[in-house]
């Protein structure tokens, strides 16, 4: 037997559920305008929660819920004891695409992530070679030198990540860095060497420079091929270390 529920109760509950969602969107839209007026660029720190609440005219819990959405999309980053930092550009004409992805739990999952990265990185390198400005290509070179210096000092993982971020931004296509930022936690499973392989990905290191040299030479086909070699060397290393787990 089904109990009848008065229509006015249903409508009240629907309004109650919908309101926070609409409010969250309104808060984020206002926050975009605030960031634009304050000229906060990626890497910059957002004002404190108190300042933002006063500026936007909302309570702290409402602000936190809105910021959680941005954090999930990789738009902001919370740093313990430091504050909230903007990771990617926001604007009224920009759309940030949410990716719903499961954390990699095994070798096969990591290999699947590499497949996605291979496709993205190959095209990003080719785009940079064909259309990036000389100044933008120079930024890729600067990031490469920083990475090589860090690598020579024994810890280049973060500089390596920044090099690839620079590459994606250099495409001039905002979807590349957005997608990669959304996948940051997944991709860092590779940079953090969760499989505990000795000298993991060392064989891929020289391909960073050959990829860059192809970009600088304005050779998109070679840039794409060198990017693929970089990813393929990592995939080969994983498959050789875990032959059984790597089987399709």
Tell me the pLDDT tens digit for each residue of 9-42. Answer: 444 443 443 445 567 778 888 888 888 888 888 8
Q: Is the pTM of this model over 0.75?
A: no
Winning range, highest mean pLDDT, from 82-91, 153-162, 164-173: 164-173
Domains of the chain: 7-86 (1.10.10.10), 107-241 (1.20.120.530)
Residue 17: per-residue pLDDT: 39
Per-residue pLDDT, averaged over 91-113, amounts to: 64
Lowest-pLDDT choice from 119-123, 161-165, 174-178, 229-233: 174-178
Per-residue pLDDT, averaged over 165-192, amounts to: 81
**For a pLDDT cut of 70, what percent of the chain falls above it?**
81
Task: Give CA separation, 112 vs 81, 101, 107, in Å.
Answer: 35, 12, 9
45 vs 192, which has greater pLDDT? 45
pLDDT, tens digit, 9 for 90 and up, residues 68-79: 888 866 788 888
């Amino acid at each position: 037997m089904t109990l009848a529920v008065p229509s006015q109760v249903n409508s009240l509950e629907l309004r109650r559920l919908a309101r926070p969602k609409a409010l969250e969107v309104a808060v984020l839209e206002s926050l975009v305008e605030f960031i634009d007026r304050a000229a906060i660029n990626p890497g910059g720190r957002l004002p404190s929660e108190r300042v933002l609440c006063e500026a936007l005219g909302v309570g702290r819990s409402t602000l936190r819920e809105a910021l959680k959405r941005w954090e999930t999309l990789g738009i902001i980053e919370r740093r313990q004891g430091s504050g909230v930092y903007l990771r990617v550009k926001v604007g009224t004409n920009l759309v940030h695409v949410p990716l719903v992805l499961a954390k990699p739990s095994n070798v096969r999952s990591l290999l699947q992530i590499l497949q996605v990265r291979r496709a993205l990185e190959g095209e990003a390198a080719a785009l940079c070679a064909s259309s990036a400005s000389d100044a933008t290509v120079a930024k890729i070179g600067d990031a490469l030198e920083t990475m090589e210096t860090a690598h020579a000092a024994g810890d280049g993982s973060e500089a390596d990540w920044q090099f690839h971020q620079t590459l994606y931004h250099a495409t001039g296509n905002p979807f590349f860095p957005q997608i990669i930022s959304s996948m940051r936690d997944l991709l860092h499973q590779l940079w953090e060497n969760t499989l505990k392989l000795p000298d993991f990905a060392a064989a891929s290191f020289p391909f960073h420079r050959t990829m860059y040299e192809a970009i600088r030479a304005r050779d998109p086909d070679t840039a794409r091929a060198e990017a693929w070699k970089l990813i393929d060397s990592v995939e080969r290393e994983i498959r050789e270390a875990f032959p059984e787990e790597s089987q399709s």
